[in-house]
Structure 1
Amino acid sequence: MALSRRAFGVGLLATGIAGTGGYFAVRDRPELRGLLGTRTNLFGFIGGEKEAFLADPDVVDAIKRYGLSIDSRVAGSVEMVREQTLLSQNPQFLWPSSSIMVDIARQSGVKIRDDRVMLNTPVVVYTWQPVADGLFKSGLVTVIDGHHHLDLKALLDAILAGTDWSKLGVNALYGRARIVSTDPNRSNSGFMFSGLALSLFSGNVATSDDLAQYGGKVQSIFRNMGFKSPSSGKLFDQYLAGGLGGEPMIVGYENQLVEWALADAERWSRIKSGQGAKPVVLYPRPTVYSAHPLIVVDETAERLIEVLTSAKLQELAWAKHGFRGPLGTATGDTKSPIVGLLPAEIDAVLPIPDAGVMLSLLNMLAS
């Protein structure tokens, strides 16, 4: 009996040691912290184009394994780093859609502990097959390896000149050619498009002198748009719902159509094989990259950088949502169904003008 008790005690001791060792093993592996049962909830603002990514059950589960959960609320990239009504809610992190927002956040008094680009996606123009075919005939669109490239400067010049769609080879549409973006004072895609347009008119990365000379042209482009959505996600939804007649051309992000197609493969297959007008992605030459920097405001959110740059999260971002990695390249299976939809690399890219020029441009556009 004594031997039995002794064996039982040794067994308990061994179990305790194994359990303690297991605890420290899990604690020291960040991707398994969630198994300990403790979880930190983080609150912050994100750009609308990342809403589906953070709501993805696979992404939520992967983040939980790190002992985190995210309470994210959608806000325009520009407003989240400038509007005191949002900043006064004490977000622990901000996740806008442009690296320049880091500088603007600092100028707005945000105390930044750290920042790092998590994802990348280029700014593109979404249109429909009849428009793409017409612009191809008129020389504004070229097709390289199955991907459509747009001479955006020529298109903007035509819009400023009040050119009809028919003069651009698009007989399916009536009236003057137009393109629509989001509100540049609220949403990043409109913000970046305004900077790209200014640089195209100036012939290089725009400076304050270029703004004085060409800012009026950018104003005219945006004035002709009429109502501008506050969110890239909402504008993309309007594009899909409005169709060829409602939204002939909009500014968006490369990943949006990919994410939408992957969300319902059967729907995408029906659209591709159907008789109606099909969505087409036009890559402006040059374009600008929408880098997505995570801005850490509170120290409790510092672990998010580690989580979002992990191999698992990067692969999910690419394979299910079409986001490129921090360097603008694929971060997942190169045999994924989305590979054929995306160019392997985006080689014609302009930097965005500096924060001072962009803030002055925003003030001009707001007026």
Structure 2
Amino acid sequence: MKQAVVGYKVQNLLNFLVENPQLKDEVIGISEPLAATQTEFVMRRRRSLQDEDAITVYLLGMEGTVAPLPLVSQVLQWQAENIKAFVHSHFPGDADLCGIIGRASQCLPPLRKALNATQVDKDEVLSLFIDHIDALESAKVPYPSYYSELLEMVLEDGFTSEVLHSKLFQDAAISIKEWGSPRQQQTFVAICSICPTATARMLLRYCSYDDLSPYVFDYFDQRSVGSMIEPHTYLTIRRRLEKSLSRISSEINVVFITDSSNGAVAANASGAADATFFSVRPFNKPVTLDTLFVLDAATISSFHQLRGGGVSYPLLCAEARECNSRRAASNEKRKTLPQGAVV
């Protein structure tokens, strides 16, 4: 019961600091002891793992856990708005894009016919291809590899031109590099996300602290394993992790950290997670005290707390506000551009 109350107080304090950053010094007397108590509950849950010697896989939610929610929303919005413009500006000159369209045509006879015409009609080809991409985004099936490659090309264009920036939570970046270090085989990092795996991968690759993608062992999204609010999804994830790591060990601990209360409940119900933590970060969707009572998961606001380290709520809020400010600036810039311009 006290664990839920602490999490609820942390959530309310973060919301207050997001809206009133100038009052950060006035809440030190509240925030520091609250952070210490929250860390105590995190460590208590961490120590409950039955086999401390087993390999540990940190299964981390991208949204609201590794990345501030405003950042993910900004990148997804830009991605959706710029696919069409990217395709039009890069076809037929970009060989990689031509290869993607060619592979898509293998399951789309009208597109294949348009590509094989004596005189290729660019508008017809791209109209058919973009309609196909739109259909893939609406369908509830795994994304084909060429779709993921297209997303990565579009996002790479945004990040390398510095239209997009990926400022993940600093504690997440530090921990991912530590847990996923190739110099050891005791801990691994896997990412689960609501957004496509390609989007999550690019957020990690272009992280402002460092390229984090080499430190991630595996990725899971809703298209590859199922809904993140269904227990069977977490069983599927665990089986995949166990199979991939069977060459190293037959026993693993899965430590799951998510900002989704429904996801936390589903993971606990499945029995696939050995320890579940509910991420309480700035701008995350608020939950009721009753929901926290039901969760049976310690709340966590910084990955440093898993080592018994501290957390600064004002600094967390400053990080998240920076992402939100960039999103607002990007939206304002978009309003001033002529219709049809590429951001």
Shorter-chain TM band: under 0.3
Structure with higher strand content: 1
* TM-score, L = length of structure 1: 0.24
Structure with larger RCO (C-alpha < 8 A, sep 6+): 2
Larger Rg: 1
Structure with higher helix content: 2
* TM-score, L = length of structure 2: 0.25
